[in-house]
């Protein structure tokens, strides 16, 4: 019992150390695609919240016996949902991304919508729990928010299969379960939270050309808009992962030819199409890092499996943001420019 109390105290101490500016991004539909890039830049300028988060996950892991990478994955998935729907999911705590609406927190039939009493919340089957040991289940406390969600999900057990059931019961949605499993694997593979570096999709310094072509019309396969940037290069130039992520899709598609799709921790899906082939060591479910070769530039697509040469060789690179039930495409061009410049600088500095 004494041990439990000291862990609770440690968690509380960790939560007090967390500093976060608390600004919220506004997303109007007109500036949607610029917003993603702006968010990323803004995030880079803020003080690093990761050490405090890591401390919180580890302490909560000790307390609940749930692996830290699962806790981190849930928090990061929640954060990605809040980023795309900031009005519906305002930031409740200081550093965790968890959003739980008031009714779910106190219980649907609870007459006291501001209830913070753990006993009466439990009575009304609310989710709110007291994780930091101060006697209150507060929806504004990082520890209470994360602890409440994690303990609800872990109610079915703590093996990977139990966890999948708990996630499904909580989210009622297979996509959410898949995302959190993917995030947990990425965290497990690298053992850290700091996984937001990027690389340009082809080696910088080689011969290639690209322009901003997002949203323009295209000819094949009916009326579609162009959801990406085309990087023209010769056949066989290496295609590299732009991010830390996990391979979600690999194989033939009539439009994209041999294509590969990689999910990152921002819940962005990076899509590479028209490849001439794949690096054979990279398969669905594998974790990749920025700059890792996943395939080669080609001109596959626009027909049956193996169709090639219907257009000049190029890499089609698209990025999609997951909004929970749907994904939207946003213009990767500004990010590509940034990653290219950063890589040029690294090359010049001899790194």
What track of x and - describes contact with Zn ion for positions 213 through 232 (by CB under 5 A)?
A: ---------------x-x--
* Cα 192 to Cα 82: distance, rounded to the nearest angstrom: 22
Task: Give the number of other Cβ atoms within 10 Å of residue 252's Cβ.
Answer: 15
Rounded to the nearest whole angstrom, what is the least distance from the CB of residue 226 to Zn ion in the complex?
6
Q: Is 138 in the site for Zn ion (CB under 5 A)?
A: no
- Give 303-310 contacts, CB < 8 A, sequence gap 24+: 303/254, 304/254, 305/252, 306/252, 307/257, 308/257, 308/276, 310/220
Task: Give the number of other Cβ atoms within 10 Å of residue 163's Cβ.
Answer: 23
Helix (H, G, I), strand (E, B) or coil at 226: coil
Rounded to the nearest whole angstrom, what is the least distance from the CB of residue 318 to Zn ion in the complex?
7
Q: Which is nearer to Zn ion, 63 or 210 (CB)?
A: 210
Rounded to the nearest whole angstrom, what is the least distance from the CB of residue 214 to Zn ion in the complex?
9
> In this structure, what DSSP letter does residue 178 have?
H
Rounded to the nearest whole angstrom, what is the least distance from the CB of residue 342 to Zn ion in the complex?
23
For 316, phi then psi, to 5°, come to -90, 120
Residue-wise burial string across 282-315, b where 16 or more C-beta atoms lie within 10 A, e elsewhere: beeebbbbbbbebbbbbbbbbeeeeebeebebbb
Helix (H, G, I), strand (E, B) or coil at 199: coil
Q: Which is nearer to Zn ion, 142 or 230 (CB)?
A: 230
* Cα 135 to Cα 8: distance, rounded to the nearest angstrom: 11
Q: Which is nearer to Zn ion, 138 or 230 (CB)?
A: 230
Q: Which residue is nearest to Zn ion (CB)?
A: 316
For 318, phi then psi, to 5°, come to -125, 155
Residue-wise burial string across 9-20, b where 16 or more C-beta atoms lie within 10 A, e elsewhere: ebbbebbeebeb
Rounded to the nearest whole angstrom, what is the least distance from the CB of residue 315 to Zn ion in the complex?
8
Q: Which is nearer to Zn ion, 128 or 318 (CB)?
A: 318
Q: Which is nearer to Zn ion, 157 or 312 (CB)?
A: 312
Q: Which is nearer to Zn ion, 110 or 299 (CB)?
A: 299
Rounded to the nearest whole angstrom, what is the least distance from the CB of residue 298 to Zn ion in the complex?
13
* Contact yes or no for 114/132 (Cβ under 8 A): no
What track of x and - describes contact with Zn ion for positions 159 through 198 (by CB under 5 A)?
A: ----------------------------------------
Strand partners, 218: 224
Residue carrying the six token digits 């609940």: 64
Q: Which is nearer to Zn ion, 58 or 327 (CB)?
A: 327
Q: Which is nearer to Zn ion, 77 or 302 (CB)?
A: 302
H helices of the chain, in order, are 2-17, 32-45, 50-64, 68-84, 102-106, 118-123, 142-153, 160-171, 174-190, 333-348
Rounded to the nearest whole angstrom, what is the least distance from the CB of residue 269 to Zn ion in the complex?
15
Rounded to the nearest whole angstrom, what is the least distance from the CB of residue 316 to Zn ion in the complex?
3
What track of x and - describes contact with Zn ion for positions 312 through 341 (by CB under 5 A)?
A: ----x-------------------------
Q: Which is nearer to Zn ion, 131 or 318 (CB)?
A: 318
Q: Which of residues 298-317 bind Zn ion (CB under 5 A)?
A: 316
* Cα 279 to Cα 68: distance, rounded to the nearest angstrom: 31
Rounded to the nearest whole angstrom, what is the least distance from the CB of residue 264 to Zn ion in the complex?
20
Please count the residues of this chain forming the interface with Zn ion, following the rule CB under 5 A: 3
**List of residues contacting Zn ion (CB under 5 A):** 228, 230, 316
């Amino acid at each position: 019992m004494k041990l439990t109390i000291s862990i609770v105290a440690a968690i509380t101490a960790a939560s007090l150390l967390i500093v976060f500016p608390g600004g919220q991004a506004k997303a109007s539909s007109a500036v949607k695609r610029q917003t993603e890039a702006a968010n990323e830049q803004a995030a880079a300028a803020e003080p690093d919240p990761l050490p405090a988060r890591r401390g919180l996950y580890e302490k909560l892991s000790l307390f609940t016996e749930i692996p830290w990478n699962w806790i981190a994955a849930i928090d990061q998935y929640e954060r990605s949902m809040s980023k795309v729907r900031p009005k519906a999911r305002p930031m409740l705590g200081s550093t965790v991304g968890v959003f739980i609406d008031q009714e779910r927190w106190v219980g649907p039939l609870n007459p006291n919508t501001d209830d913070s009493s753990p006993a009466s919340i439990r009575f009304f089957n609310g989710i709110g729990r007291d994780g930091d040991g101060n006697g209150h289940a507060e929806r504004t406390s990082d520890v209470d928010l994360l602890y409440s969600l994690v303990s609800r999900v872990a109610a079915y057990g703590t093996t990977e299969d139990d966890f999948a059931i708990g996630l499904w019961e909580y989210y009622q949605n297979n996509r959410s379960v898949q995302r959190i499993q993917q995030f947990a694997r990425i965290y497990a593979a690298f053992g850290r939270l700091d996984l937001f570096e990027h690389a340009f999709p082809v080696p910088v310094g080689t011969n290639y050309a690209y322009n901003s072509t997002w949203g323009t019309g295209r000819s094949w396969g009916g009326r579609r808009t162009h959801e990406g940037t085309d990087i023209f290069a010769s056949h066989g130039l290496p295609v590299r992962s732009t991010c830390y992520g996990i391979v979600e899709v690999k194989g033939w598609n009539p439009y994209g030819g041999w294509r590969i799709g990689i999910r990152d921790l921002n819940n962005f899906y990076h899509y590479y199409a028209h490849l001439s082939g794949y690096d054979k060591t990279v398969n669905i479910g594998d974790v990749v890092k920025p700059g890792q070769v996943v395939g080669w530039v080609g001109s596959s697509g626009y027909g049956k499996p193996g169709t090639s040469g219907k257009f000049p060789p190029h890499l089609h690179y698209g990025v999609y943001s997951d909004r929970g039930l749907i994904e939207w495409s946003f213009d990767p061009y500004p990010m590509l420019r940034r990653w290219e410049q950063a890589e040029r600088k690294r090359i010049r500095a001899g790194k």
